[in-house]
Amino acid sequence: MDYEWQKAQPGDLAQLVGLSHKNFIIRLTPGDRLQTHRGILYHDDLIGIPWGSEVSSHLGSSFFLLQPALSDLIKETKRTTQIIFPKDIGFILITMGIGPGSRVLEAGTGSGAMTTALAFAVGEQGHVTTYELRPEMQQLAQKNLSRLGLQDRVTFILRDIGDGFNERGVDALFMDIPRPEDYIPQVRTTLKPGGFFGCIVPTVNQIERLLNALQREDFAFVEICEIMLRYYKPTAERLRPTDRMVAHTGYLVFARPIITSGKALEPKTLDDELS
């Protein structure tokens, strides 16, 4: 019996992970070859063998043939700017209700790392529309998405969002731009009432300005958080965290546009909830 689903097929995305853990993500293509600093790997030698197999380059270096997870695709995004980390992306998706069939907006395409995550999560039934101001960034993101075969799920729009979004009644909008506080009226107009707004900002000053802008536009249920991820060395008899870690990527800010009947909102007291 032949477990064909266990074997790498032409057209599959594959990750080659070396012993020194240098990663390469490729699309398996008959006739192609992967050039690494530890030797060449021929796609034809990879097609048809089981996933998880150890393979050797022409110089004898070992690699493992794996299928990449979304977090691997994110980490390997070709970038010219800082990208969002998987630790943040996972929490953003789950907090903003983004999943199969979602129709979401992104402001600030950048290198396309978050666009990739959104396109992956919404599936074939969903759709992502992403706005970017800089043509060269949009082109880079388009190339990154096409490389992963996700381009059909994404509409790329080149525009200053100060001019507003085309869409109305959007379920969820994620923003990763330098001055999010300047575009909250535009966000309010495009988001459906009760929709999900999410944003990542690197500095506390941006949070402060954003909080004021959100209040002016009748957003409520604001949540601000940061996620710290700490790895451990995988050694059973000397188990301990790694020596260093990422201390900061950005603050996550979430909010919902509401329709009040005039009453002021009592501020949310998270401490009460936690205790």
CA separation for the pair 5, 46 (Å, rounded): 14
Asked if residue 267 binds a second copy (CB under 8 A), the reply is yes
Distances (CA, A) of 78 to 25, 63, 82, 156, 160: 11, 21, 10, 17, 23
Number of residues this chain uses to bind a second copy (CB under 8 A): 111
| Closest approach of a second copy to the CB of residue 160, in Å | 23
Asked if residue 59 binds a second copy (CB under 8 A), the reply is no
In the list 30, 50, 149, 185, the residue contacting a second copy (rule: CB under 8 A) is: 50
Asked if residue 67 binds a second copy (CB under 8 A), the reply is yes
Residues 7, 48: contact at Cβ < 8 Å? yes
In the list 117, 141, 148, 187, the residue contacting a second copy (rule: CB under 8 A) is: 117
Asked if residue 266 binds a second copy (CB under 8 A), the reply is yes
| Closest approach of a second copy to the CB of residue 25, in Å | 13
Asked if residue 204 binds a second copy (CB under 8 A), the reply is yes
Asked if residue 223 binds a second copy (CB under 8 A), the reply is yes
Judged by CB under 8 A, which stretch of 17-25, 28-36, 107-115, 156-164 contacts a second copy?
17-25
Q: Which residues of 234-245 are buried (b: 16+ CB within 10 A; e: fewer)?
A: eeeeeeeeeeee
> 52 or 162: whose CB is closer to a second copy?
52
Asked if residue 42 binds a second copy (CB under 8 A), the reply is no
Closest CA to 10 of 33, 23, 34, 27: 27
> 66 or 133: whose CB is closer to a second copy?
66
| Closest approach of a second copy to the CB of residue 118, in Å | 11
CA separation for the pair 91, 196 (Å, rounded): 13
The 8-class DSSP code of residue 6 comes to: G
Q: Which of residues 136-165 bind a second copy (CB under 8 A)?
A: none
CA separation for the pair 40, 25 (Å, rounded): 14
Asked if residue 135 binds a second copy (CB under 8 A), the reply is no
> 136 or 237: whose CB is closer to a second copy?
237
DSSP-assigned states of every residue in 120-186: HHHTTT-EEEEEES-HHHHHHHHHHHHHTT-GGGEEEEE--GGG--S--SEEEEEE--S-GGGGHHH
In the list 26, 28, 34, 86, the residue contacting a second copy (rule: CB under 8 A) is: 86
